[in-house]
């Protein structure tokens, strides 16, 4: 009987970075394992710099990723070829792995439309800020691709809050009915802004929601990079070539934690306890991966220093590129909504212009 038990939590590394009993390291070369580690470090460093940019008034609202690096990086690392991702606003490192420079995400956060103008031949859908709306898009793209005879896989990213949206259920139902090559990736970071898991759903896990739609749900330690890579790799292989009697889609629930606020406009101290954060910080994916690489002779102090310098250089370059682009006029946001602005839109445009003249643009950045 489907749904009578919760899926097991898949793990390869324990919280101390040691290989768990009977666990098998994914089939990755030493260089690939080091590159995955570099992406984790890049995500953390980029996150720290982006928060500072926002605090300095050089960027708008930003959604921190600290704690969730493995969920985004290791899953995107498992994709290949022309496989597509459909990112949420927090999946900047997944987009980077699929070929989109970090400067695009910075420009997006700086309010520049061109930050979401994805270059051709880059299999990344524009960043989706509305919750879960990219899920039906992913399924539709996967269905069309399947009809065209392609073996591409489509992976939308969303958080635990997205599973409460109608688009989530419509998308998964459609994926099951039409057997689309879609891997649904949930970063279950425990908090939908300030709403905890008990108030979001009465299901014991999010992964088992897949039962309702006829395909597999998988639950993985989202702070274990090797486990995330392995379960995503298996889901992608099944999406391309499912065993007889099984459907192509998979719903992956990555159990993780958002160390920081939901966005730089949020204050998590008003709705969660410090002890909870301290418990989850013991599972930090980056020290776990670093310990594994050091213990297995793949990483030493000299190579770590090289990686950290590479990461700093890449982020600096992305910031320089983004800040070298002329900022658009704030009123430009009204120019491309309709061919002819509605009276209400025109009134909003005039009001913004009046406020700028009265208070100056600095009043909107602090």
Pairing outcome for strands 216-221 and 183-188: unpaired
45 is known as an active-site residue: no
Strands 84-86 and 9-10: unpaired
Q: Is 137 a catalytic residue?
A: no
Cβ burial of 285 (10 Å; 0-12, 13-18, 19+) is buried
Q: How far apart are CA 304 and CA 290, in angstroms?
A: 9
Sign of CA dihedral 108, 113, 115, 118: positive
% of the chain beyond a pLDDT of 90:
85
- CB within 8 Å of 163: residues ≥ 6 apart: 132, 186, 200, 201, 206, 209
Cβ burial, residue 57 (10 Å; 0-12/13-18/19+): exposed
Structure confidence by residue, pLDDT tens digits, 197-234: 889 999 999 999 999 999 999 999 999 999 999 999 99
What's the number of CA atoms in the CB half-sphere (13 Å) around residue 142? Answer: 33
Q: In the prediction, which pLDDT does 365 show?
A: 62
Bridge partners of residue 157, in order along the sequence? 185
The whole-number pLDDT of residue 366 equals: 55
pLDDT at 337 over 90: no
Cα–Cα separations (whole angstroms), residue 315 to 241, 322, 348: 38, 11, 36
pLDDT, position 2: 46
pLDDT in tens, 116-126: 899 999 999 99
Catalytic residue among 2, 55, 147, 271: 271
- Phi, psi dihedral angles at 83 (to 5 degrees): -60, 140
What pLDDT does 331 receive?
84
Cα–Cα distance measured from residue 179 to residue 366, given in angstroms and rounded to the nearest whole number: 48
Using the predicted structure, report yes or no on whether residue 281 has a pLDDT greater than 50: yes
> Is 108 labeled as catalytic in the residue annotation?
no
Terminal Cα distance for the chain, rounded: 55
Sequential DSSP letters for 290-353: HHHHHHTTS--HHHHHHHHHHHHHHHHHHHHHHHHSPPPPGGGGGTTSSSS--HHHHHHHHHHH
Q: pLDDT tens, 47-71?
A: 999 999 999 989 988 999 999 999 9
Q: What is the pLDDT of residue 364?
A: 72
Which is the catalytic residue, given 49, 258, 283, 288? 258
Report yes or no: 85 and 156 within 8 Å, Cβ to Cβ. yes
Tokens encoding 323: 């800040």
> What's the rounded Cα separation, in Å, for the pair 181 and 128?
20
Residue with tokens 């524009």: 126
Nearest to 245 by CA among 182, 179, 183: 179
Choice among 44, 262, 283, 288 that is catalytic: 262
pLDDT at 295 over 50: yes
Q: Which residues pair with 10 in a beta bridge?
A: 220
The predicted model scores a pTM of 0.93
Interior/surface letters 250-272, b for 16+ CB within 10 angstroms, e for the rest:
bbbbbbbbbbbbbebebebeeee
* Distance of alpha carbon 19 from alpha carbon 26, whole angstroms: 11
Query: How many whole angstroms separate alpha carbon 61 and alpha carbon 263?
Result: 7
Cβ–Cβ under 8 Å, residues 287 and 13: no
CB 233 within 8 A of CB 78: yes
Spatial contact of 68 and 257, defined as CB atoms under 8 Å apart: yes
Q: Provide φ and ψ at 111, rounded to 5°.
A: 85, 20
């Amino acid at each position: 009987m489907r749904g009578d038990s919760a899926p097991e939590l898949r793990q390869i590394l324990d919280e101390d970075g040691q290989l768990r009993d009977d666990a098998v390291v994914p089939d990755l070369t030493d260089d690939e394992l080091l590159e995955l580690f570099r992406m984790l470090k890049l995500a953390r460093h980029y996150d720290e710099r982006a928060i500072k940019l926002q605090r300095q008034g050089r960027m708008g609202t930003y959604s921190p990723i600290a704690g969730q690096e493995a969920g985004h990086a290791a899953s995107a690392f498992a994709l290949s070829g022309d496989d597509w991702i459909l990112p949420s606003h927090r999946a900047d490192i997944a987009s980077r792995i699929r070929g989109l420079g970090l400067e695009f995400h910075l420009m997006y956060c700086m309010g520049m439309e061109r930050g979401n103008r994805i270059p051709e031949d880059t299999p990344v859908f524009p960043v989706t800020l509305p919750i879960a709306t990219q899920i039906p898009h992913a399924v539709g793209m996967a269905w069309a691709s399947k009809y065209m005879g392609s073996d591409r896989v489509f992976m939308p990213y969303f958080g635990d809050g997205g599973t409460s949206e109608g688009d989530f259920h419509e998308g998964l139902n459609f994926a099951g009915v039409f057997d689309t090559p879609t891997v649904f990736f949930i970063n279950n970071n425990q908090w939908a802004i300030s709403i905890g898991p008990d108030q979001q759903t009465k299901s014991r896990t999010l992964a088992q929601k897949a039962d309702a739609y006829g395909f597999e749900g998988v639950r993985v330690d989202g702070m274990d990079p090797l486990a995330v890579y392995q379960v995503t790799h298996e889901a992608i292989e099944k999406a391309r070539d499912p065993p007889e009697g099984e459907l192509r889609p998979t719903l992956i629930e990555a159990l993780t934690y958002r160390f920081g606020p939901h966005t730089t406009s949020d204050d998590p101290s008003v709705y969660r306890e410090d002890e909870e954060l301290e418990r989850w910080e013991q599972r930090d994916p980056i020290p776990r991966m670093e310990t594994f690489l050091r213990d297995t002779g793949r990483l030493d102090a000299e190579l770590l220093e090289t990686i950290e310098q590479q990461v700093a250089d890449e982020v600096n370059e992305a910031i320089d590129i983004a800040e070298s682009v002329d900022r658009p006029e704030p009123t430009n946001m009204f120019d491309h909504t309709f061919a002819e602005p509605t009276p209400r839109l025109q009134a909003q445009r005039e009001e913004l212009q009046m406020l700028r003249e009265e208070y100056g643009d600095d009043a909107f950045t602090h």
